[in-house]
Amino acid sequence: MPIKRFYRAQRARLTATPLALRPALGVKGRALRVLLLLGVLLASAYAGMLYEQYLNDRRVSQVKAQQQNQLQGTQQALTGLQQEKTLLAQQLTISNAERDALKRDLAQLQQETSNIRETLAFFE
């Protein structure tokens, strides 16, 4: 019984829809479908290539910007170190001048001390 119902339902479906004949695709139709498929594949491959190039250019620009920032930081550090070097050189020059002045003062005081000792020795 259930098989009869199935066949009846199948026949009812077949008879309810009008018959539509579709001609089989010829060689030209198949070739056009293949060409269309190849065109879509090539277009998607080209779009992927362009997108990859865009990402690559973006990465390169980011790396360049990062290197530029590092270069600026290094240049600022170099400038700071050069200023510190000049300051230390000036301090060294000043301390050398002070040392030379103290040497002269020491030599003069030693000379005066020796003169005073000679005078003291004379009076003794």
pLDDT tens for residues 20-64? 777 888 899 999 999 999 999 999 999 999 999 999 999 999 999
Check pLDDT > 80 for residue 9: yes
Dist. CA 42–CA 45, nearest whole Å? 5
Confidence at residue 1, expressed as pLDDT on a 0 to 100 scale: 67
Residue of 41, 59, 60 lying closest to 49 (CA atoms): 41
Mean per-residue pLDDT of the chain: 92
Please state, in angstroms and as integers, the Cα–Cα distance from residue 63 to each residue in 8, 53, 60, 75, 80, following that order.
73, 15, 5, 18, 25
Say how many CA atoms lie within 13 Å of 45 toward its Cβ: 6
Q: Is 68 helix (H, G, I), strand (E, B) or coil?
A: helix
Confidence at residue 101, expressed as pLDDT on a 0 to 100 scale: 94
Confidence at residue 18, expressed as pLDDT on a 0 to 100 scale: 73
pTM for this predicted structure: 0.50
Dist. CA 69–CA 77, nearest whole Å? 12
Indicate the Cα dihedral angle 38, 43, 44, 49, nearest 10°: 130
CA angle 76, 80, 86 (to 5 degrees): 145
